[in-house]
Chains A and B, each alone.
Chain A
Amino acid sequence: MRSFGSQRFTSYLFLAPYGLSFLVFIVAPILVALSLAFTQLDLTSRVPSHLVGLDNFSEALHDPYFGQAAVATLRFTILIVPSLIVLAFGLAIGLQAMSFGRNAVRGLIFLPGMFNVVVASLIWRWFYDGEFGLFNFLLKKVGLPHAPWLSDKSWAMPSIVAMSLWWGLGGATIILFAALQQVPTHLYEAAMLDGATSRGLFANITLPQVRPVLLFVVVTSTIGGFQLFGQSFILTSGGPERSTTGLVMLIYDTAFHKYRLGYASAISWLLFAMIAAFVLLQFFGLRRSVD
């Protein structure tokens, strides 16, 4: 499988269609966006756009709202990624252990993910509502006091995480389940003949086999976590007191309400740097059988 000699050219042909699309719709816009970060481009300004060097980046690093949004973004990501992975893996294993009804259960777990983020968030906003929401209504019925789901700073982000888990677990579970299904059963059979325990099977066969896909799920959910926007936009409008305003919401406000495209671009690149740092750590952590 190492060298195909004269077929090397054909090998590259396999990459061609995607490569073209990638160049035109990813690379080109990135280059534009990169240059934007070094300009002052304000759509509603009297002054034409001009290069400002690192001014946008320095403004961001001195902007308290940037710092606050960065913290909120990190908080969300750190809360959701581990819980998503652990729960999804657990659900996938649970699915594998089921002997009947498996398809139905898998479908039900995935069902919430089919709704777009706006609809899903609207429903949970009603659940979480302080005065007229379903959860507090149920709490009152069993004699407990109202909970400040979205109105208290220490409750708001966890509430958003809970809703995001309900919405996103299906996707991660399905992928991990597919990976589990792909593990060749003869590996398990051979090990069991050797007298392996179920924990041993898990650690020595399952984990290594699904490691590439696990890495994929960790990386993609991290990237997704950093890009928190829809849920907090609908559930809390970024509150209380901007505590659930993530960097993407900041970028959205800057680009689409203040029309400061250059500054928004700089914030986006700083966000990118944060994501890259995190993902690099994850790659080194889970590296082994990836390449």
Chain B
Amino acid sequence: MALVALVFLAPVILMLLTSFKTSGEVLNPSTIIPHPWSLAGYAKVLKYSEESPMGLWLLNSLLVSTSVTFLVLLFSSMSAFAIARLRVKGAGKIITLIVVSMMIPGQLFLIPVYLILNWLRWLDTPLALIVPATAGGFGVFMLTQFMKSIPPSLEEAAVIDGCGLWRIYWEICLPLVAPAMATLGIFTFIGSWNDFLGPLVYMDSVRSYTLPVGIALYQSSYVSEYSLTLAASALGTAPLIVVFIILQKQIVASMATSGLKD
């Protein structure tokens, strides 16, 4: 398995090493280790200018991605609970509708959503990036399937004890799907972070951009300035890796207490 992991890791290491190469050397395959090492790419990216506020973009990305993740986790788990555990009337039809909505190509939504956001006056505000993202069916579908795998015995006990629906949801159901929740959280965060088309189209001013969109500004139209792009991408993806490592610990911790392994 360790060898397998290497296959996934190797290109990323290459990417990282290449980001330290000088502009002329960047595309030369015979030198893997940069020689000389150059921080030029990183320096250009980090050099603050009025026009490229890296700090602002980072804050925007953090705000948007954490909000989206929180809302998606909440809404999706509530909906999945209703569909999979409470078996509301019409649950089958609802989940079918949601899966069908996932099959519709995303481009179709771009312009109608733009018009709706314009009418709501949400364009160029964080709301334009946060709220539409909560409508995606991925989370609901995923948690529904995970919740279907849970044996109903634990909840039945709670019902006999006279627990209200919310308590059952919050104290029993959620902990049981904690690994899936953490996984969904990671996916949602990464998807929101890397969303490119949304911020570009729904935001007017440079200050409202998120990090990946801002970083794309460094891509010259005529030629790929690889060292710059790679440095910017490394910086732009680093926060994701940090979040992943933090959430990973959660997955391990919650699996130990999920009460399923006994």
> Does B112 lie within 8 Å of A33, measured CB to CB?
yes
The smallest beta-carbon distance between A96 and chain B, in angstroms, is: 10
Is there an interface contact between B103 and A279, defined as CB atoms closer than 8 Å? yes
Whether A11 lies near B92 (C-beta < 8 A) is: no
On whether A268 and B233 interact (CB within 8 A), knowing A28-B116, A181-B179, A182-B146, the answer reads no
Cβ-defined contact, A29 with B109, below 8 A: yes
- A240 interfacial by beta-carbon distance below 8 Å: no
Cross-interface CB contact of A210 among B104, B111, B149, cutoff 8 Å: B149
Q: How far is the CA of A25 from the CA of B241 in the complex (A)?
A: 30
B15 proximal to A (CB < 8 A): yes
Q: Which of B27, B131, B196, B252 meets A25, CB within 8 Å?
A: B131
A239 within 8 A of B: no
CB neighbors of B among A237-262 (8 A): 247-248, 251-252, 255, 261
Given A4-B165, A25-B132, A251-B107, does the pair A107, B245 have CB atoms closer than 8 Å?
Answer: yes
CB pair A212–B88 under 8 Å, yes or no, is no
Q: How far is the CB of B219 from chain A (nearest CB, A)?
A: 9
**Nearest-CB distance from A115 to chain B (Å)?**
6
B125 to chain A, nearest CB (A): 15
Q: Is the CB of A213 within 8 A of B145?
A: yes
Task: Kindly identify which residue among B12, B15, B78, B150 contacts A18, using a CB–CB cutoff of 8 Å.
Answer: B78
How many inter-chain contacts with C-beta < 8 Å in the A-B complex? 249
Q: Count of chain A residues with Cβ under 8 Å from any Cβ of B?
A: 99
Q: Would you call A196 an interface residue if the criterion is a C-beta within 8 Å of the partner chain's C-beta atoms? A: no
Q: Which of B100-153 contact A (CB under 8 A)?
A: 100-109, 111-113, 115-116, 131-132, 134-135, 137-138, 140-142, 145-146, 148-152
User: How far is it, in angstroms, between the C-alpha of A32 and the C-alpha of B87 when the chains are bound?
Assistant: 31
Question: Is B11 interfacial (CB-CB < 8 Å)?
Answer: yes
Residue pair A103, B252 in contact (C-beta under 8 Å)? yes
- In the complex, whether A147 has a CB less than 8 A from a CB of chain B is no
Question: Out of A24, A138, A220, which one reaches B135, CB within 8 Å?
Answer: A24
The answer to whether residues A108 and B145 also contact, given A21-B134, A223-B102 and a CB cut-off of 8 A, is no
Asked whether B245 lies within 8 Å of A1 as measured between CB atoms, the reply is no
Say yes or no: A11-B86 contact (C-beta < 8 A), given A1-B152, A123-B15.
yes
Q: A14-B79, A226-B103, A272-B105 are in contact. List 20 more A-B contacts (CB 8 A).
A: A1-B156, A7-B165, A18-B134, A25-B113, A26-B137, A29-B109, A30-B101, A98-B1, A105-B5, A111-B12, A116-B237, A137-B30, A178-B179, A179-B149, A182-B180, A184-B151, A186-B262, A210-B149, A220-B141, A261-B111
8 cross-chain CB contacts under 8 A:
A18-B134, A18-B140, A25-B113, A26-B109, A122-B229, A166-B11, A182-B149, A182-B180
Chain B interface (Cβ within 8 Å of chain A)? 1-2, 4-9, 11-12, 14-15, 27-30, 74-76, 78-79, 81-83, 85-89, 92, 94, 98-109, 111-113, 115-116, 131-132, 134-135, 137-138, 140-142, 145-146, 148-152, 155-156, 159, 164-166, 169, 179-180, 183, 186-187, 190, 194, 196, 212, 216, 224, 226, 229-230, 233, 237, 240-241, 244-245, 248, 251-252, 255, 260-262
